């Protein structure tokens, strides 16, 4: 305690405020703890009261059933496949496009830059109906291409990537150019390795965006086999009206990958959010 | 120089082509194409006839559209104040020293990474009468009389409470991080100086922290208004827009009109009404941000 008092910064750590902070954190975590508690309960046992959570019997049968004898496993596969491919394509397409805007001179650059960031003001939710017709005309409904491609080229990622590439000093490029490297070579072996942090940030946000996307997959996936977890979970949950142990397990299964990624890349996410708040 | 610039175009095009195509096709083209759709009678099978402005005239007279617009405004009015104030206090709580710092930051932000389906179904199971955690908890702690069983999902007023609470729980993390990044930058000396002048924690909160966070609050207000106007998932999944259509927001009405009533033309016209509202707020938000950047 004395040590704490001596520390200037720590002197602000009023215990009452700390207690309030922790209590608030618990309130934020309770719904998730409850979901996790439900998922290891036996179907039909009492789960509603907080006292019931910690009462055995516990079981992992729900997870087994969810993963091996329901459609949830298929939706999990779709979600993972779509999210991974979205990340790879988003990073590739965005960084390629950002390079000439940051490092090359060409005519019409300003206008094209403006064109690429005007998307910031376009609310995707308000163009979902024409997007559906476009996807239909391209024969992309109910396909992975239709689920993935519309979310690849985003103005926000583009803008962040251009800003970051610009901040990389020119002399690195010049050195490579003197060695006879062309633009693709410079892009690949100078820019990309130096931009890891920003590319990781773009990857995580693109993964989370794809993993949790609801409205577009709801329209685009027509066959149950094409559903992602966010689209499938409600249809799965509706088949259980009495007991919600199984749907809660599905909720947990759908959340674990995102939670793990969040815990691993927490720093990147926090910085990314601040960045989006400043840059718009 | 001119020659050099022109020869660059080939390379430039190679770099930007994938982005150019995807962006034009899926972001820009739907905006323009939607205008065309809204001037037609258009079903899921395609265009069936030109109707001019009829879809927009219908919109003006459609009481369900105005009802849905009203619900959207209600939701904006209910959620935005909480999503501006609660995250600020969360940031004040989390901006503290020691090992707690990371735990608090992670706890407050964690719900934000969940999908709307998970959030909605957790909310539904918590709020269900008889089976849910909430009423059990309220009975156990004696806040609620034994025979009282509030219908958190099917009573319109309580349904709004459930929807708003679920939304705040889910989305407070984003503005929380925005505030936190501002609060972290406040120099400790400022508080030290205030303390020497005899200021208490409440005084420091009002005279130092709040004024510094003001421009961020303005940004958060705009961001949350925009986000709340776009509400769909959590209402659709928690109440289904019900009871009846008592909580149905604009996007759900657009969705129903387009894909259940097979009227994509009219749905596009309604989308444009929403589009215009959202663009106005987005431009406002950008103005604040550009002002902020100049200031910094």
Interval B6-16: pLDDT, tens: 457 888 999 99
Name the closest residue on chain B to residue A150, using Cα atoms.
B26
What pLDDT was estimated at residue B168? Answer: 97
**B43: DSSP letter:** E
With CB atoms and an 8 Å threshold, state whether A212 touches B230: no
Residues of chain A found within 8 Å of residue B69, distances taken between Cβ atoms: none
How many C-beta atoms surround the C-beta of residue A45 within 10 A? Answer: 15
Share of chain B above pLDDT 70, in %: 96
Residues of chain A found within 8 Å of residue B235, distances taken between Cβ atoms: none
With CB atoms and an 8 Å threshold, state whether B271 touches A126: yes
With CB atoms and an 8 Å threshold, state whether A22 touches B264: no
Backbone angles phi, psi at B248, to 5 degrees: -70, 120
CB environment B106-125: b (16+ within 10 A), e (fewer): bbbbbbbbbbbbbbbbbbbb
With CB atoms and an 8 Å threshold, state whether A96 touches B19: yes
Residues of chain A found within 8 Å of residue B184, distances taken between Cβ atoms: none
* A13 pLDDT above the threshold of 70: no
Q: pLDDT band for A10, please (50, 70, 90 cuts).
A: very low
Give the CA radius of gyration of chain A: 24
How many CB contacts within 8 angstroms connect chain A with chain B?
A: 294
Cβ-proximal residues to B57 (8 Å cutoff; 6+ apart), any chain? none
What pLDDT was estimated at residue B296? Answer: 38
User: B92-116 pLDDT, tens per residue?
Assistant: 999 887 778 889 999 999 999 999 9
Candidates B224, B213, B222; CA nearest to B80 is B224
**B113: DSSP letter:** G
Candidates B241, B200, B132, B109; CA nearest to A208 is B109
Determine the average pLDDT of the residues in A22-43: 90
- The least confident of A49-58, A125-134, B45-54 is A49-58
Distance from C-alpha of B65 to C-alpha of A19, rounded to nearest angstrom: 47
* B19 pLDDT above the threshold of 80: yes
Q: How far is B66 from chain A (nearest CA, A)?
A: 17
What pLDDT was estimated at residue A8? Answer: 41
Of A24, A183, A212, the CB nearest to B11: A183
Distance from C-alpha of B229 to C-alpha of A108, rounded to nearest angstrom: 36
* A6 pLDDT above the threshold of 70: no
Q: Angle B203-B185-A259 (CA atoms, 0-180°, nearest 5)?
A: 105
Name the closest residue on chain A to residue B11, using Cα atoms.
A183
With CB atoms and an 8 Å threshold, state whether B98 touches A13: yes
With CB atoms and an 8 Å threshold, state whether A38 touches B33: no
- Asked if B37 and B268 count as a contact pair (C-beta separation under 8 A), the reply is yes
Distance from C-alpha of A207 to C-alpha of A192, rounded to nearest angstrom: 19
Distance from C-alpha of A218 to C-alpha of B260, rounded to nearest angstrom: 13
Distance from C-alpha of A57 to C-alpha of A94, rounded to nearest angstrom: 50
Name the closest residue on chain B to residue A153, using Cα atoms.
B23
Determine the average pLDDT of the residues in B58-79: 94
pTM for the full predicted model: 0.89
Fold observed for domain A70-279: MetI-like fold (1.10.3720)
* A9 pLDDT above the threshold of 70: no
Distance from C-alpha of A158 to C-alpha of A140, rounded to nearest angstrom: 25
Domain boundary assignment for chain A: 2-61, 70-279
Distance from C-alpha of A182 to C-alpha of A184, rounded to nearest angstrom: 6
Q: pLDDT band for B246, please (50, 70, 90 cuts).
A: very high
Look at domain B62-295 and name its CATH class.
Answer: mainly alpha
Of B19, B113, B137, the CB nearest to A208: B113
User: B126-178 pLDDT, tens per residue?
Assistant: 888 887 888 888 888 888 877 788 888 889 999 999 999 999 999 999 999 99
Can you read off the two tokens belonging to residue B265?
A: 């033309």
User: A79-135 pLDDT, tens per residue?
Assistant: 999 999 999 999 999 999 999 999 888 888 999 999 999 998 888 888 999 999 999
Q: Taking all residues of chain B, what is their mean pLDDT, rounded to a whole number?
A: 89
Give one DSSP letter per residue of chain A, joined into a string.
-HHHHHSTGGGG--HHHHHHHHHHHHHHHHHHHHHHHHHTBPTTS--SSGGGTTPSPB-SHHHHHHHHSSTHHHHHHHHHHHHHHHHHHHHHHHHHHHHHHHH---TTHHHHHHHHHGGGG--GGGGHHHHHHHHHHTT-TTSHHHHHGGGTS-HHHHHHHHHHHHHS-HHHHHHHHHTT--HHHHIIIIIHHHTHHHHHHHHHHHHHHHHH--HHHHHH--SGGG--HHHHHHHHHHT-SS--HHHHHHHHHHHHHHHHHHHHSHHHHHHHHHHHHHH-
Q: pLDDT band for A2, please (50, 70, 90 cuts).
A: very low
User: A153-179 pLDDT, tens per residue?
Assistant: 999 999 999 999 999 888 888 888 888
**In this predicted complex, what is the ipTM?**
0.89
Give Dmax over CA atoms of chain A in angstroms. Answer: 73
Determine the average pLDDT of the residues in A36-58: 78
- The dihedral region occupied by A139, where left means phi > 0, alpha psi between -120 and 50, and beta the remainder, is left
Determine the average pLDDT of the residues in B14-29: 96
With CB atoms and an 8 Å threshold, state whether A50 touches B140: yes
Residues of chain A found within 8 Å of residue B8, distances taken between Cβ atoms: 100, 104-106
What pLDDT was estimated at residue B25? Answer: 96
Angle between helix axes A72-103 and A229-238 (nearest 10 degrees) is: 160
Name the closest residue on chain B to residue A120, using Cα atoms.
B282
């Amino acid at each position: 305690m004395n040590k704490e008092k001596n520390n200037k910064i720590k002197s602000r750590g009023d215990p009452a405020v700390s207690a309030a902070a922790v209590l608030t954190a618990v309130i934020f975590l309770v719904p998730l703890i409850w979901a996790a508690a439900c998922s290891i309960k036996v179907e039909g046992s009492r789960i509603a009261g907080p006292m019931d959570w910690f009462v055995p019997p516990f079981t992992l049968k729900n997870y087994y059933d969810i993963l091996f004898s329901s459609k949830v496993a298929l939706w999990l596969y779709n979600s993972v496949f779509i999210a991974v491919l979205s990340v790879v394509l988003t990073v590739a397409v965005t960084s390629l496009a950002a390079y000439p805007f940051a490092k090359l001179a060409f005519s019409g650059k300003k206008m094209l830059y403006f064109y690429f960031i005007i998307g910031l003001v376009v609310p995707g939710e308000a163009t979902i109906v024409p997007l559906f017709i476009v996807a239909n005309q391209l024969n992309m409904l109910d396909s992975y291409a239709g689920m993935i491609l519309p979310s690849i080229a985003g103005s926000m990622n583009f803008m962040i990537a251009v800003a970051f590439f610009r901040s990389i000093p020119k002399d690195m490029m010049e050195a490579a150019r003197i060695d006879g490297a062309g633009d693709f070579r410079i892009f690949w072996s100078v820019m990309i390795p130096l931009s890891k942090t920003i590319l990781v940030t773009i990857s995580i946000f693109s993964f989370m965006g794809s993993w949790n996307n609801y409205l577009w997959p709801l329209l685009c996936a027509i066959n149950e086999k094409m559903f992602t977890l966010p689209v499938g979970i409600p249809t799965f949950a509706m088949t259980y009206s009495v007991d919600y142990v199984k749907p809660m397990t599905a909720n947990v299964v759908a959340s674990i990958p995102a939670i793990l990624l969040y815990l691993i890349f927490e720093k990147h996410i926090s910085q990314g959010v601040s960045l989006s708040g400043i840059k718009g | 120089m001119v020659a050099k610039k022109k020869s660059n175009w080939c390379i430039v095009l190679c770099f930007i082509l994938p982005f150019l195509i995807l962006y034009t096709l899926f972001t820009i083209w739907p905006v323009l194409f939607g205008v065309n759709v809204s001037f037609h009678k258009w079903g899921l099978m395609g265009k069936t006839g030109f109707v001019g402005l009829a879809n927009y005239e219908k919109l003006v007279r459609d009481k369900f559209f105005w009802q849905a617009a009203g619900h959207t405004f209600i939701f904006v009015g209910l959620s935005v104040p909480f999503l501006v104030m609660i995250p600020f206090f969360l940031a004040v709580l989390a901006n503290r020293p020691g090992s707690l710092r990371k735990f608090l930051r992670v706890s407050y932000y964690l719900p934000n990474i969940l999908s709307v389906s998970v959030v909605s179904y957790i909310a539904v199971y918590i709020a269900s009468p008889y089976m849910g955690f909430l009423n059990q908890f309220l009975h156990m702690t004696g806040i609620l009389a034994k025979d009282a069983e509030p219908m958190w999902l099917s009573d319109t007023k309580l349904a709004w409470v459930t929807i708003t609470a679920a939304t705040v729980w889910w989305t407070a993390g984003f503005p929380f991080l925005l505030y936190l990044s501002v609060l972290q930058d406040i120099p400790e000396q400022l508080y030290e100086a205030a303390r020497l002048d005899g200021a208490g924690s409440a005084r420091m909160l009002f005279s130092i922290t709040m004024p510094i966070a003001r421009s961020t609050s303005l940004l958060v207000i705009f961001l949350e208004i925009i986000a709340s106007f776009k509400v769909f998932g959590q209402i659709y999944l928690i109440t289904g827009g019900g009871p009846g259509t008592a909580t149905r927001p604009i996007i759900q009405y657009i969705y129903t009109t387009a894909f259940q009533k097979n009227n994509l033309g009219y749905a596009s016209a309604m989308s444009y009404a929403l589009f215009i509202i959202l663009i106005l707020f987005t431009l406002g938000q950008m103005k604040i941000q550009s002002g902020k950047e100049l200031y910094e």
